[in-house]
Structure 1
Amino acid sequence: MGQNEQEEILQSINKYSQVFNAMVQDILTKQASGDEGLASSNSVFSPNKLISLMSDKVEIDSAKLLQSQFTFMEKQSALWQQASMAMMGEASQNIIDEQHSDRRFSHDEWQANPVYSYVKQAYLLNSQMLENIVDAMDFKDSKTAEQIKFYTRQYINSVSPTNYVLTNPEVCEDILKSKGESILKGMQNFMEDFEKSPIEAFKITQTDHDAFTVGENLAMTPGEVVFKNELIELIHYYPTVAKTNELPLLFVPPFINKFYVLDLDERKSAIKALLD
């Protein structure tokens, strides 16, 4: 990626930064007016929660920790040397590679571009170091150990370079192709989710709640509600053939966010298939 392209990316980001910052400030003001504010979060990532776990009795394997630190420093030094060679156009080797199952770094630029390659490998080395630190700790109970490992993995995933605009080549390319429109759309989605989220947590919308309308593109099999109370609706579907069984068939679908799983659309409907 050339210098001109990088400048275009920065200009695209700067184009919307003022509007974005104003929106963030407005929402933070609204969030701060809550009963106890963000500081009262009961999230598993809250400082109080983590301090409470870490203050539990723990024994540290000093030899194991020291060895992991020496290994980390050696690999970091080797990485810097290899990165310097790559930036000067010389042949270089990776100090550390991602796992084959890790699809975050599948874009060609993570290997071909010396800068992105260094960022990726530095992240992987630091991730490995954090995991080694946790492995060197021996907690008094297995539950606490699993919690610390879980929080560590979540933190490592959260700081991945793929999560940030300027350190993700795929995002940068998309910004260039869309002339900055993709980042604007992303900001708008973020702000909409931020506004909808409760004070104590940030919830990311994973589906378009306006994409489906019952009777139009969801639950399209003709029928009518013949009984209804506070808990259920009993739907009688209209027969599509001349003869039907005397004994009706009763379906009770899952009641947690899957009301229409048996009747999605005309091509994906168990109800319609049975009627026909």
Structure 2
Amino acid sequence: MMTDDGPDPFTNLFEAPAKFARALFAPMAEAAGGNPLSAEDMRHWAEVGTKLQTMWLEYQAEQLADPQALVPWMDPARWMGLAQDWYRQMPLGDPAQQQALWQEGMEVWQQVLAQYGLGAGGQEEARDAADMPRRDRRFADPRWRAHPAYALIHQTYLFLAERVAEMVDRIDGLSDDKREQLRFTTRTMTDAASPANFPLLNPVVMERTLETQGENLVTGMEHLLADLRRGQLSHTDASAFTLGENIAVTPGKVVHETPLYQLIQYTPTTDTVLATPLVIFPPWINRFYILDLNARKSFVRWAVEQGVTVFMVSWKSADASMKDVVWDDYVRAQIDAIDHIRARLDVPAVHAIGYCVAGTTLAGTLAVLHRRGEQDKVRSATFFTAQVDFEKAGELRNFVDDQQLAAIKGLTPEGYLDGRYMAATFNLLRGTDLIWNYVVNNYLLGEDYPAFDLLHWNGDVTNLPAKWHEQYLRDFYRDNRLVEPDALGADGTPIDLGLVETPTYVQAGKEDHIAPAESVWRITDHFAGPLKFVLAGSGHIAGVVNPPGSGKYQYWTNTGSPRTLAEFRDGAQEHPGSWWPDWIEWLREQDPATVAAKGKRKPGGRGDRVIEDAPGRYVAAR
């Protein structure tokens, strides 16, 4: 990049660490014993290079033979445009800013080099990460400090990333939404630019490459090409898990089915059960078995063991036949499930749980039932990390301006959004942990994928109906219309959340970045009935899936009348461990009556026609 006065000092500052990359070959030579490569070694390295080249050329030939295989999100032109837009908005051309960066950068270098005694003509290893001006867990390995070149590279990067982030806060004339969007874009780009992500700049990768004589790069290339072919970043070994065998294994039967969902009823394990059954509405952007990962983590199994008759909705992954599915259809589906359970068990009401986006819809469903005078169909409602007021909805709001909505619409020619795009979006929200960590470990270091059920679920993507997805982003995230009385409706009925008097239990995650606690709290401003708010430790998933036996995290309650989340925190009582026991106690208070677990309380018994065994077909559909 150039300025009117010649080379841009800002660019020079970025390029300066590259000069030190030449010094990396010195420690490589030392690691190799200082001896020249043998003929056999040279042949091996040549074979590795040939393997890598051949694998890449074969992949390129595949793409040229099938241009439709190219994923739009992987189009380099898209990301170059993003980079150009970002640069135009940043004050990088300000000479005073450039000079200040240059001077401060030199001070950082002096601080780093002083740790090695280079000023006195000597050299010694830095003693500890605390000796460095800046610390970051991506560079926690001692090898990042074992040589001054590596130390200068990663410390310069951290310094620049810090300063560029600060620039966003100093730009004049930006709205709050645009500033937050620029913050997100800046972090995304600086995460991608980390020297940890480049083999020649990463001492851990360089050492592994020497140890394995390049075989790690061959394995990493295999992983990379496999992910490119499937159009999705892998986090785990998918072959390690099979539905119904080691995930989603709680016994039950599919007792009802529509083109949009299957209804699973789980087999009781107690002689008596609560008279009022429970129906769980999981988010349709994910598979339901996050609540039934395995026997130890399963919320479903635990609830059954507490004497609850549990039903689970398993949403169908969208295909072209669902191109006209919208908000109304999901509200109708929730009402249909509630009515089917009431008729099947001959009960007047159900307890209902809504998780994430299904909780948003459950709020609309409750409002519809209240407007129709049918509110008694739901005895109580529980919300897992669900939002109804999207003013404080967090980083996902960065994807809902007109330009983003138009781009998303262009990805849905067949009427549904491929779930891999949503997976990529959620990965971007935590790029260091969910993208670049795996790039380093699996592509550069060539490590095998772990067999981790939670990560497997995270990658088991679900397609979304295009019209509904666009409507959700526009009407809820962007325009926040759900909290405006009668601004939205469903199934011909206007929605006013202020009518909802159903007893409600609301759980939020203290560290949730998808549905921030501040946003979840807002439900307390809109519902009119008795409400208990619980703040759980951890985030969107671990804050929910936290069985009592794990001994992890904690939760907070407040028996007062706090008006804000800050007031709730100030007066909250902390409880160790899982919030699940608190919830089941609350649920029993809503209706303590019990009945024998017989008849249709045991799905698939004599005279009970069912469709198939749990977990059903829909959860396996791609």
How far apart are the structure 1 equivalents of 2:255 and 2:202? 55
Letter matched to residue 104 of structure 2: T
Question: Which structure 1 segments of 5+ residues have no match?
Answer: 198-202
Other-structure match for 1:233: 262
Other-structure match for 1:272: 301
Letter matched to residue 188 of structure 2: Q
* Superposition deviation, residue 162 in structure 1: 0.7
Where does 1:236-251 land on structure 2 (aligned, <5 Å)? 236-241=265-270, 243-245=271-273, 247=275, 249-251=277-279
How far apart are the structure 2 equivalents of 1:26 and 1:89? 52
**1:68 aligned onto 2:94:** no
Where does 1:246-261 land on structure 2 (aligned, <5 Å)? 247=275, 249-255=277-283, 256-261=285-290
Residue aligned with 1:234, SS? strand
Residue aligned with 1:235, SS? strand
**1:184 aligned onto 2:213:** no
Other-structure match for 2:56: 21
User: Could you tell me which of 230, 233, 240 is aligned with 1:211?
Assistant: 240
Pairwise CA RMSD of aligned residues? 4.2
Maintained 8 Å contact 1:139/1:145: no
**1:220 aligned onto 2:255:** no
Residue aligned with 1:252, SS? strand
Residue aligned with 1:267, SS? coil
Where does 1:94-133 land on structure 2 (aligned, <5 Å)? 97=132, 99-100=134-135, 102-128=136-162, 130-131=164-165
**1:3 aligned onto 2:3:** no
Where does 1:41-52 land on structure 2 (aligned, <5 Å)? 43=78, 45-47=79-81, 49-52=82-85
* Superposition deviation, residue 123 in structure 1: 2.6
Residue aligned with 2:293, SS? strand
How far apart are the structure 2 equivalents of 1:18 and 1:58? 40
Where does 1:96-175 land on structure 2 (aligned, <5 Å)? 97=132, 99-100=134-135, 102-128=136-162, 130-131=164-165, 137-175=171-209
How far apart are the structure 1 equivalents of 2:300 and 2:168? 52
Letter matched to residue 23 of structure 1: E
Letter matched to residue 233 of structure 2: I
- Closer/same/farther in 2, CA of residues 157 and 50 from structure 1, 3 Å limit: closer
Maintained 8 Å contact 1:227/1:235: yes
- Closer/same/farther in 2, CA of residues 230 and 152 from structure 1, 3 Å limit: same
Maintained 8 Å contact 1:218/1:263: yes
Question: Which structure 2 segments of 5+ residues have no match?
Answer: 1-26, 306-622
Letter matched to residue 55 of structure 2: F
* Superposition deviation, residue 132 in structure 1: 6.0
Deviations, residues 93-145 of structure 1 (Å, cap 9, x unaligned): 89x93644x10111111112233223223333443554466566434544444
- Closer/same/farther in 2, CA of residues 98 and 81 from structure 1, 3 Å limit: closer
How far apart are the structure 1 equivalents of 2:99 and 2:174? 21
Residue aligned with 1:214, SS? coil
- Closer/same/farther in 2, CA of residues 123 and 92 from structure 1, 3 Å limit: same
TM superposition score normalised by structure 1: 0.72
Residue aligned with 2:60, SS? helix
* Superposition deviation, residue 190 in structure 1: 0.8
Residue aligned with 2:172, SS? strand
* Superposition deviation, residue 208 in structure 1: 3.8
* Superposition deviation, residue 71 in structure 1: 3.1
How far apart are the structure 1 equivalents of 2:76 and 2:201? 30
How far apart are the structure 1 equivalents of 2:149 and 2:60? 33
* Superposition deviation, residue 79 in structure 1: 6.3
Maintained 8 Å contact 1:263/1:270: yes
